[in-house]
Amino acid sequence: MSKKFDVAVLGATGTVGQAMIEILSEEKFPINRLYPLASHRSKGESVIFNDETLVVDDVETFDFTKVQIALFSAGGSVSAKYAPIAARAGCIVIDNTSHFRNDDDIPLVIPEVNPDDIQYYKNRNIISNPNCSTIQMLVALKPIYDVAGISRINIATYQSVSGTGKAAIEELARQTIDSLSGRDVTSEVYPMQIAFNLIPHIDAFEPNGYTKEEMKMVNETRKILNDKEIKVNPTAVRVPVFFGHAEAIHIETKKKLSAHEAKELLSKAPGVIVKDKLENHGYPSPVTEASGKNAVFVGRIREDISHEFGLNFWVVADNIRKGAALNSIQIAQILVRDYL
Ligand code: A2P
């Protein structure tokens, strides 16, 4: 009989945690016992896993020696506190927050891009899951990077509110209804109205004028590709979409690559589906392709008419699945297959 594992999901009542539980079941992850964890606020709440009702535990009093793997998605400060506790208890933490991503001894992994880095989990028993926007960008660009090299990436993101969590999903729904009903619109999660609007501000501002979200894409790309030279220039925008992030990506390759060659490479790439026809709905969108799906969808593949080595792409993916929960579980799958 193949080996089974005891697994904890921290943030089990949240948007990503719920998706983790769903995907563990869909993927038939070899689980012996699942422990859903959240804060004391959720104590007594329940979640459904494989048709079974499981009661949510308070992480504060949870004994991490009971599990071999823990998937964390409850915010950076929660990971800062509990990941070292879990790791010391002998549990391997796959952390979806940004807290450990820049630590040199913590692997930052996208299974389609740098699966071999998983081996470095042994350093601290922690593996970081990258930012949602970085994941879908690099899944799409890795096949191009390997063949033609990439010197520069210009990117504008169109990020759905589910990336912020449950409260933001509720805020967009409420503001949409209030706005269409002629009532005053109030904002609690975002700095201004998100319904029928665009907000060019995700996470805090840095002294260089970029936001933390944008700098995550810069630093994480360099770490994952192990390429300190690659130039990344992002603008991250929150849009009034519930699920699915989109990205307009403009790259400069080191060797000339035609749009046709890029399309061929992407058609064979793991985790990628190309939808690229010059017709109505010949391209992917968050609602029609990405939401609820596991793949990264790529369309609008074309040569940049303003730059000899330039290529353009439109990339969409479900930010909760491939951008967070699914990527973490794919890391766990490699971990149990190759290391445990
Ligand atoms: P809780 O519902 O008990 O606060 P989302 O990103 O969708 O808002 O979800 C956040 C998840 O992280 C929830 O499951 C939430 O649980 C959990 N969480 C937030 N703060 C803490 C904390 N201090 N300790 C444990 N879990 C937390």
Q: List the chain residues with pLDDT less than 50.
A: none
Q: Which of 15, 21, 41, 160 most suits a substitution to test ligand 1, by most atoms within 8 Å of the C-beta?
A: 41
Q: Rounded to 5, what percent of the chain is helix, strand, coil?
A: 35, 25, 40
Q: Which of 40, 201, 245, 307 is catalytic?
A: 245
Please indicate whether residue 91 is annotated as part of the active site. no
- CA-wise closest residue to 8 among 77, 85, 80: 85
Residue ID of nearest Cα to ligand 1 atom 4: 39
Distance from Cα 25 to the centre of ligand 1, integer Å: 21
pLDDT of residue 1: 54
User: Which atom in ligand 1 lies closest to the alpha carbon of residue 59?
Assistant: 25
Residue ID of nearest Cα to ligand 1 atom 18: 74
Distance from Cα 223 to the centre of ligand 1, integer Å: 28
The ligand 1 site (C-beta within 6 Å) comprises 11-15, 17, 38-39, 41-42, 59, 74-75, 78, 165-167
Q: Which helix (H) or strand (E) holds 91?
A: none
The vertex-268 CA angle with 263 and 272, nearest 5°, equals: 80
190 DSSP 8-state letter: S
**What is the per-residue pLDDT across 36-87, written as a single tens digit (0 to 9) for each?**
999 999 988 999 999 999 999 999 999 999 999 999 999 999 999 999 999 9
Q: Which of 18, 78, 164, 188 most suits a substitution to test ligand 1, by most atoms within 8 Å of the C-beta?
A: 78
Q: Which of 40, 91, 132, 201 is catalytic?
A: 132
User: Which atom in ligand 1 lies closest to the alpha carbon of residue 18?
Assistant: 14
pLDDT of residue 22: 98
Q: How many Cβ atoms are within 10 Å of 76's Cβ, its own excluded?
A: 15
Distance from Cα 11 to the centre of ligand 1, integer Å: 5
With tokens 């991490």, the residue in question is: 64
Distance CA 288, CA 68 (A): 37
Residue ID of nearest Cα to ligand 1 atom 6: 165
- CA-wise closest residue to 31 among 54, 60, 58: 54
Residue ID of nearest Cα to ligand 1 atom 22: 39
Distance from Cα 42 to the centre of ligand 1, integer Å: 8
Residue ID of nearest Cα to ligand 1 atom 3: 39
Alpha-carbon radius of gyration of the chain: 20
Q: 298-302 — which CB contacts under 8 Å span 24+ positions?
A: 298/140, 298/266, 298/272, 298/273, 298/274, 299/274, 299/275, 300/276, 301/259, 301/262, 301/263, 301/266, 301/274, 301/276, 302/259
**What is the per-residue pLDDT across 166-188, written as a single tens digit (0 to 9) for each?**
999 999 999 999 999 999 999 99
pLDDT of residue 44: 84
62 DSSP 8-state letter: -
Burial class (CB in 10 A: 0-12, 13-18, 19+), 84: middle
Distance CA 28, CA 187 (A): 40
Q: Which helix (H) or strand (E) holds 201?
A: none
pTM greater than the 0.95 cutoff: yes
Residue pair 71/49 in contact (Cβ under 8 Å)? The answer is: no
Distance from Cα 16 to the centre of ligand 1, integer Å: 10
